[in-house]
Structure 1
Amino acid sequence: MKLHSTILGEGKPMLILHGFLGMSDNWKTLGRQFAEEGYQVHLIDQRNHGRSPHSDEFNYLLLARDVKEYCDSHQLKDCVLLGHSMGGKVAMLAASLFPHIIEKLIVVDIAPKYYAPHHQQILEGLQAVDEAHLPSRGDAEDLLAKYVKEEGVRLFLLKNLYWKTKGQLALRMNLESLVKNIEEVGQALPNDATYSKPTLIIKGERSNYITAEDEKDILSHFPVAEIVSIPNTGHWVHAEDKKAFFTAVMQFL
């Protein structure tokens, strides 16, 4: 699958994978900062997200293989691979399957464990927006607010809107496939998946995605991992404190 990406800067390749229902645009500001530090930053839309192709099939093995295919097609090696949430799970699996092309791994606020589905309300809201064929972003936000109370999460989700035709908004993501395959998003990393090169796990101090009990599990898959907690941040740690996040990544690199 030929993934869509935005490439910034020149130098060592750094691939950035967004989370579930996100897109590469979410990482533009940080991407530019990494590019200024001498990295060629590849902001990637994963399948069924952003401007990348749509597919009925959606699971972590396919997503990890998409990353490998992307590296092959762009002739990338010795890559830094960074992923947030769902993108972090993809990054973990890709690094364990293809360690010869991944030199360093950075995982943001996700553990290798299974997570029960917890996006139902958001998906219902997006389906309502998709089916309403609304004429303005304001109307879309008003409708989504009935399902998603947090303004920050709403604005993040509404970045997926685009003008399909004059006067009609639509969502870029393949919502039908994502709803159908929602069970896949929470799947655990396979028990035998390991990656023994430099690994950084960044967690939000106020996020419940990585608990103290998860650290042993993390180290069983990633034996040299260092785990860094960013104060006063939740799951969207990179958006909530860009400066501290950028500093933590650059210190590791």
Structure 2
Amino acid sequence: MRSVIFFKRCFNKRPSFNIDSIQDLPFSENIELAYNFLQPKNARINLNKTPVLFLHGLFGSKLSFNSNGRELTRIIHNPVYTVDLRNHGDSPHVLPHNYITMAHDISKFINDQKWNKCILIGHSMGAKVAMLVSLLYSKLIEKLVVIDNTPHSQRLDDSYYNDLLAMCEIEHDSKEFKNGDMRIVDIDKVDDKLKDYEESSHVRSLLKSNLIRTKKDIERIPKNKQSTEAFKIPVMNFYKHNIIDSISSWPNLHVDKFNNPVLVMYGNQSKFVLPEYFKKFDEYFTNVKFQEFDTGHYISVDDPLRFVHSLARFIEPKVEESLQTHHKRHHIKVNK
């Protein structure tokens, strides 16, 4: 009952800022995405193996799968990369922000890296981007992992709208949340504000991961905006252009089906991938397996060990010996 009352109270909130006064972002269909090549200590990375590329969800970044990716490369020895999608992390803030454009960004990134193929893993918004890359640029993708999303349109929970509005209100009143020199954001003040909109401490941590917190963050912002911007995501523009509705959509496609292996991971406490949605995958994919997790939407956070081990088995079926070594090092039982 408390959660119902909480979200009704939040959804009745209205923006305190003038939407029409929000300046538009520049337009660009060709950008360079920021990325990380994960190189954990004592990992034997075989650069001849197919690269693995993680795509984060809304409000995430290339850091979202930093820990999972490092564990994965220790087990399978493939090179593992994480990337910031447009308007996230350290990648450029530009319009448009839609799935077709983001899929183009990823195909360009893969080609720029001169990879023949890659194994693509996407979560939530990143899952839809990954599916589109496999359908529109199928020759680039060896295997595909879809984490808790489906190839069809479905309205997002009101909490996403609340979270975006909370970030906008903080950005609008950014001077109240900054320290003496008006550039670094006070994370405790931000958390207190976010609690008015978001109950989940994990989601609040995700939102706070986008705060401008370091000198490097500041250096990426034009000097005339350093005292007014609080987040590394253009949250005000997202609100103005109703990006939440945009990323809940799925484009109308007339494409050949993707025939390579696809693994769909879904949380049984999440509403994103319900059993009645399984047939949606048959419209686009011919070789799909589903794996249920006793988690919510954030599978990699709620059950990180099984998540990584499942990825390892899917990417490298002969990986059992490496998994045994991995779980002995961590003194953990291997889950199948």
Whether 1:79 aligns to 2:118 is: yes
1:149 is matched by which residue type in structure 2?
E
- 1:188 corresponds in structure 2 to 250
Higher percent of residues as strand: 1
RMSD of aligned residue pairs (Cα, Å): 1.7
8 A contact 2:35–2:83 mirrored in 1: yes
Pick from 193, 200, 205 the counterpart of residue 150 of structure 1.
200
Deviations 1:144-199 (A, max 9, x none): 11011111110111000123489987200121332213322011253434311110
Whether 1:243 aligns to 2:305 is: yes
2:301 is matched by which residue type in structure 1?
A
TM-score, scaled relative to structure 2: 0.72
2:277 is matched by which residue type in structure 1?
D
Pick from 124, 139, 152 the counterpart of residue 100 of structure 1.
139
Whether 1:161 aligns to 2:203 is: no
5+ residue gaps in structure 2?
Answer: 1-30, 40-44, 179-185, 220-225, 316-336
CA distance in 2, matches of 1:230, 1:33: 19
Larger radius of gyration: 2
Distance 1:60 1:167, change over 3 A: closer
Segments of 4+ moved more than 6 angstroms: 165-169
Pick from 273, 277, 282 the counterpart of residue 219 of structure 1.
282
TM-score, scaled relative to structure 1: 0.94
Give SS of 1:192's match. Answer: coil
Give SS of 1:170's match. Answer: coil
- More divergent stretch after superposition (45-54 vs 25-34): 25-34
- More divergent stretch after superposition (209-218 vs 83-92): 209-218
Whether 1:45 aligns to 2:80 is: no
5+ residue gaps in structure 1?
Answer: none
1:71 is matched by which residue type in structure 2?
I
8 A contact 2:33–2:109 mirrored in 1: yes
Distance 1:185 1:167, change over 3 A: closer
Whether 1:204 aligns to 2:301 is: no
8 A contact 2:34–2:91 mirrored in 1: yes
Count, aligned residues: 252
Whether 1:89 aligns to 2:128 is: yes
